[in-house]
Amino acid sequence: MLTRCLRNIISSNLRHSTRQLSYVSRIRLLQRLKEDTGFCKEQLGAGQFLLYSKGKPLLGRSTSGETSPIWLNHTSVGELMDQNFELNCAVLGLSETGVPQFVLNIGETVGTSSLEQENKGRFTDLRVGLFLVDSPTAHTLSRGWSLLLWKKNTKFCTKCGNPLVLNLSGSQASCPVCFSVYYPSTSPVGIVSICDPSRDSLLLIRQPRYPPGMYSCIAGFLDAGETLEDCVRREAAEEVGIEVHKVSYLSSQHWPFPAGSLMIGCQAEALPGQEPDPCKVELEDARWFTRNQVQEAFDRIKENPGLRTRKDNDPEKIFLAPRGAIANFLAGRWLNIL
């Protein structure tokens, strides 16, 4: 609950949003935006909007080559807000000065080229865009698409079958009949770098859908009742037939596909002397790579991130998932360069 005093501070900050807010002030303001629909609606006029079209965010490139979201004010997006806009809009966060930030999904019939020209940006494939921006921005993009998808797909109460009422911010949906409440879901995924200290090598795997030459780390969704350590040990056994121990957490990353996941990055050690036996259904290959080979694969994608989206790469020239993907970070940590 917000006190009257804090409400006054928040109102004042929203009207005069030129100074940086403290972290706590921003979080409490964001909490009110998420939970108080009347307040949230009032703030639309002062908000910044990030547009998505068919899953693609509107991104721009600065003269120095940095890619970032294009934020539009309420006046610029007013005509894109039809009577259904509340189903296509959600709260993304707050700028450092306390300006509310929203994501807005534009209709499929809206022409995108004029918007791109007017705003000097491009509606960019999200799988590409996530690797062009810095980590906080990638999480903002990921949150935006996950919330829009959740709003689009959350229609009926799973207990009684009646239509749900979604709030504007995208923080919850409630059933007016049985009063059940639903929240945007995030699925936990364990992703792990597996090393064998006895041969100073790292295990990398290849899925058939990867572009030629790309290798990555083992990953899989947590099963019900599993710990993260259980998940990682099970995935290693299922996917490559290798038993691991000494599982430890390193870092995490939100990922908008398939519909909002939390990639939980771990490292683990294989019991010595095991050879991978890749699961033929999920994997095309799994191999131990020496430190020099992993370094080469790391350098190759760093020098040429475009390899990630090309289909005509030399399959013998191994490269890792690009910077911005947690698999890249896990491999970099094993190399002791990140």
Residues that bind Zn ion (CB under 5 A): 157, 159-160, 175, 177-178, 180
Distance CA 197, CA 192 (A): 15
CB of 161 to Zn ion, least distance (A): 7
CB of 286 to Zn ion, least distance (A): 46
CB of 151 to Zn ion, least distance (A): 18
For residue 66, CA distances in Å to 61, 123, 278 come to 5, 16, 39
What does the buried/exposed string (b/e) look like for 39-64 if buried means 16 or more CB atoms within 10 Å of the residue's CB? Answer: bbeebbeebbbbbbbeebbbbbeeee
CB of 328 to Zn ion, least distance (A): 43
Indicate the residue among 178 and 337 with the shorter CB distance to Zn ion.
178
Indicate the residue among 90 and 175 with the shorter CB distance to Zn ion.
175
- The residues facing 24 across adjacent strands are none
CB of 172 to Zn ion, least distance (A): 14
Contact 171, 91 (CB under 8 A): yes
Distance CA 243, CA 98 (A): 49
Indicate the residue among 157 and 189 with the shorter CB distance to Zn ion.
157
Distance CA 134, CA 138 (A): 6
Indicate the residue among 155 and 199 with the shorter CB distance to Zn ion.
155
* Bond from prior residue into 188 cis (ω within 30 degrees of 0): no
Indicate the residue among 68 and 180 with the shorter CB distance to Zn ion.
180
CB of 3 to Zn ion, least distance (A): 33
Name the token pair of 117. Answer: 């020209």
CB of 153 to Zn ion, least distance (A): 17
Indicate the residue among 16 and 159 with the shorter CB distance to Zn ion.
159
Indicate the residue among 160 and 237 with the shorter CB distance to Zn ion.
160
Contact 263, 255 (CB under 8 A): yes
Distance CA 49, CA 99 (A): 10
What is the number of alpha carbons within 13 Å of residue 83 lying toward its C-beta?
0
Could you tell me which of 91, 10, 14 has the C-alpha nearest to residue 46? 14
> Strand 72-73 to strand 187-196: parallel, antiparallel, or no bridges (unpaired)?
unpaired
> Which DSSP state fits 251?
E
CB of 165 to Zn ion, least distance (A): 11
Indicate the residue among 27 and 160 with the shorter CB distance to Zn ion.
160
